[in-house]
Amino acid sequence: MSAEKIIGDFKKGNFKPVYWLEGEEPYFIDQIVNYAEHKILTEAEAGFNLTVFYGRDANWADVINACRRYPMFADKQVVLLKEAQQMKDIEKLEGYIDNPLTSTIFVVSYKEKKVDARTKFAKTLKAKGEMFSTKKLYDSQLPDWANSMVQNHGLTIVQKALHLLVDHIGNDLSRIQNEIEKLAVNLGARKNITEDDIENYIGVSKEFNVFELQDALGKKDLSKAIRIIQYFEKNPKAAPIQLILPSLYGFFSKVYMIFGAGTNDEKAIAASLGINPYFMKDYMQAAKNYNHAGVEKILLLLHHYNLRSIGVHDGGTADAGLMKELVVKMMN
């Protein structure tokens, strides 16, 4: 069951008495909760038939009493329990969940964790309610997800702009959505998002960013790499070292896997490693420039400098100093 399917059922008027929304990705949980709060009932109906609790302050008995009320001047009432992971004695809701009122739509938002599937409470949820479990998207899935969001707004985006957007924001779906909505407003009549748009409206330099640093390293362009690091030094919020190192590790990890791909067919390698074919030439060039042993050394260096960046075996070297050392050793 997906968030889209649940919301689609809501739109059709197909409701279940209990929805338990759990897991690591808040974006999809928030989508369902927001629809339940603002769209299931009309504004007039919501005045009498919408009740919202927050886990930190909620008492289990009060929640059950609200669920057991009958709707007023409407066929359904909606009861929301937000941030339910912070609620004490949440298992005491089991009695209601086992025998819910069909005129109540009870939606529980249980973020950042999952109920223990071995418990009687979890088994009751599974038997009597609609359980929706989420997990974070893999970083490799983010470009496709963001591109779908762009298309939902009737827009297109050039590949490099797409990766600039995703690399800058990272795995924060709500923020990606907000930035795409901002772009849609600022584009006016235009329908295609470019690198200039990402720079102008999101604030990511199209010349000095992690993506361009990765490109410089792949091509063994030391002078360009140093210029980008110097830009980061003057603009520390542009790309903190804890953002840079994981990105570089992800890039060179895939370069390393090319050597074990067992084929020289770039399309086959791209498909097996989850690399966008548009960027495959960058990975192949890095593999050629560094060879198997060189890439293995780079991965070890990235691990070593990640430890130094958090103070392990390092007396406080500035981030820019660490990065300059790192790229020189990578290319040596």
Do 250 and 287 lie in one domain? The reply is: yes
Last residue of a domain, one of 134, 161, 184: 134
pLDDT class of 140 with cuts at 50, 70, 90: confident
CATH of the domain at 110: 3.40.50.300
With 80 as the cut, is the pLDDT of residue 149 above it? yes
Q: Which domain holds residue 146?
A: 139-202
Q: What pLDDT score was predicted for residue 307?
A: 94
Considering the domain architecture, whether residues 177 and 298 belong to the same structural domain is answered as no
CA 15 to chain CA centroid, nearest Å: 28
Last residue of a domain, one of 202, 231, 253: 202
Residues 15 and 257: their CA atoms lie apart, in Å, by 47
The whole-number pLDDT of residue 200 equals 94
* C-alpha dihedral sign at 41, 42, 47, 48: negative
How high is the mean pLDDT of the chain? 93
- Ramachandran category for residue 151: left, alpha or beta (phi over 0 → left; psi -120 to 50 → alpha): alpha
Q: Which segments within the chain are labelled E, that is strand?
A: 18-23, 50-54, 77-82, 104-111, 130-134, 156-157, 192-193
Given a contact cutoff of 8 angstroms between Cβ atoms, the answer to whether 14 and 39 are in contact is no
Total domains present in the chain: 3
Query: 171 with 283, same domain?
Result: no
| One-character DSSP codes across 3-45 | HHHHHHHHHHT---SEEEEEES-HHHHHHHHHHHHHTSS-HHH
- Take residue 235 and report the two structure tokens written for it: 């603009």
pLDDT at residue 272, rounded to an integer:
87
Residue pair 210/247 in contact (Cβ under 8 Å)? The answer is yes
Do 221 and 197 fall within a single domain?
no
Average pLDDT over residues 217-246: 93
Structure tokens at 293: 């042993």
Q: What is the CATH number of the domain that holds 155?
A: 1.10.8.60
Half-sphere exposure of 228 (CA within 13 A, CB side): 25
DSSP state letter for 136: P
- Based on the domain organization, do 185 and 90 belong to the same domain? no
With contact defined as beta carbons under 8 Å apart, do 81 and 87 qualify? yes
The answer on 85 and 111 residing in a single domain is: yes
Regarding whether 130 and 7 lie in a shared domain, the answer is yes
Same domain? 233 vs 116: no
Would you say 64 and 97 are in contact if contact means Cβ atoms under 8 Å apart?
Answer: no
By the 8 A CB rule, do 24 and 51 touch? no
Query: What average pLDDT does range 189-200 have in this prediction?
Result: 94
Together in a domain, 294 and 188: no
Query: Could you tell me the sign of the dihedral formed by the alpha carbons of 184, 190, 192, 198, in that order?
Result: negative
> Do both 152 and 52 map to the same domain?
no
Is 145 exposed, middle or buried, given 0-12, 13-18 or 19+ CB atoms closer than 10 A? middle
Do 234 and 305 belong together in one domain? yes
Residue 169 has pLDDT above 90, yes or no: no
pLDDT tens-digit profile of 272-324? 888 888 889 999 999 999 999 999 999 999 999 999 999 998 888 999 999 99
Confidence check: pLDDT of 1 > 80: no
**pLDDT given at position 303:** 96
Do residues 181 and 294 both lie within one domain? no
Domain endpoint, select from 91, 112, 134: 134
